[in-house]
Amino acid sequence: MGTFEYTLFLILSFLTSLLMVVMAVRVFSLKSSPVTRIFGSLLIAISLWAFAIGGGMLSTSPHMAFNWIILRMAGVLAVPTLWLVFAHHFTHRQEKIRAWHAWLLGFIPLATFILVITSAHHQLLIVAIDYVQVDGYWVDADWQIGPLFWVHMIYSFLLVLIGNVILLRHAWRWSKQYRKQAVILTLATILPLFTNAALTFNFFPSIKGNYDVVGFAVAAGLLTWGLFAEQILDLTPIAHQILVEHMPDALFVFDEEQRLVDVNPAGLAFLDKPLSQVMAHQPSALFDPPIVLSLEESTLTYAPKTGTGLKWFQVHNLPLIHNNLIIGNLLTLRDITRQQQLMNELRQLATTDSLTGLANRRHFMDQSIQYLHHAQRYSHDLSLLMIDIDHFKAINDQFGHGVGDQILTKLAEVLAQNIRSVDILSRYGGEEFCLLLPETPLEAAHPMAERLRWLVKETNFTVDGIPHRISVSVGVASLQAEKISMDTLINRADQAMYHAKRNGRDQVIVWNSATNPPEAS
């Protein structure tokens, strides 16, 4: 070995070892996790390996050189095991390592290390080591290896390659940034693996030194770049991938031509199609009704046509921008069916009378005011009926409120079944019902009121096997030429209804401003 070659390898050994220690400190300073602890330990093992190569090159005797070899082998034996364990944790596959796997992964390096220390007694791993002197230092130049050394080599190379396969097998599902991290990590192991194989099989006989350090130096550079520039371990890609894969929300990624380029399992479940049948398709072919990808961030409520009943989704469209250019869209669909059902139930409670199922007083007023404004604006007809059950208190007193409630419910059914779909029927309060008749003049409202009064009188209201006969008093008021409020119109119908009661009940009274009090029909 020439002096230049010796000096170069010596410098690379210590420089690589120092760089690995610096990176290990950086890794251990990150948030503590199994991934960071294992990766930091891996860097320490590589540092020990490189440092022992340099230390061995400064040995003053063959005995000291062999002690450095023992220290070097500690790093050599630890690296493949740590790399395999790291690959499993980095890709969130640590559950694949069973307890007996862990024992075996720990036992084999320990047993091999014991064989290294005791090799002079059995020569199973190392038969002999030839040393050369360079500037007075003893350097191992050639190894005569035993049969178990090949087992160690195959086992170590296999662990590293399995770790790389695990890493690369998952990398294709990651984003571009995380794929780059996987490539950096893989290259950082492939290069030392190549130089170690070249050294073992003497691919370069003209080079007499231990050029493992060259592979380590390149790996150190790659890892430094990855750790500080690409933020390896700041967020492991599989954590991001698992987050996406296990999200209940359906995620769809479209490119600039609105073709589907990525979808998570929840998205495939939503489409109910295999991946091969949806990739590269546009939204119009995937969603029914179609979802439009806008150039601005937007959120909408979406009800797809499905065979499993009505479902509601909140759709969030997010344009993907890179270097001020839109390169695609991220579409998120969140199932809000239950929330929508709750909202509908709350809306129902807020607008519906719980006993009869009709519109309640507040909802009736909201709707009737709109109809009144429309009628007044366009000079359309509008009429209103106030309907009250006669002697209803006597029914409650004699038969109980339960019977009274059932009669109210049955009356609501009779009225609802005999009006138009545009009419608005409500339980106005107690035993009072209010009926708004859009586009209906007094000439039509009066006969309708009479027809409803007659239907009620002729209906047999049977409750618990007991028939009940009831009658109603009805007041009618219609919109006149003057501009009045809904409260005024209701008050006029109410006055007419009370006049019907005073006149003997079971009749219809029309409010008439010319004949005040109103006239009986």
Residues assigned a catalytic role: 431
DSSP string over 97-118: S-HHHHHHHHHHHHHHHHHHHT
Identity at 380, one-letter amino acid code: H
Residue length of the chain: 521
β-bridge mates for residue 128, sequence order: 144
Identity at 451, one-letter amino acid code: R
H helix or E strand, kind and range, residue 308 = none
Residues whose CB is less than 8 angstroms from the CB of residue 80 and which lie 6 or more positions away in sequence, other chains included: 155, 156, 157, 159, 160, 163
CA dist 368 and 289 (Å) reads 34
CA dist 29 and 491 (Å) reads 78
CA dist 260 and 250 (Å) reads 13
Angle at CA of residue 158, ends 155 and 160, nearest 5°:
115
Nearest to residue 125, comparing CAs of 110, 141, 134, 112? 112
Strand segments, DSSP code E, in 211-346 are 250-255, 260-263, 298-302, 313-322, 325-335
CA dist 392 and 402 (Å) reads 13
Are the C-beta atoms of 248 and 314 separated by less than 8 Å?
no
CA dist 395 and 165 (Å) reads 84
Alpha carbon distances (Å) from 138 to 1, 47, 130, 389: 11, 21, 10, 116
Q: How many CA atoms lie within 13 A of 411 on its CB side?
A: 30
CA dist 395 and 404 (Å) reads 6
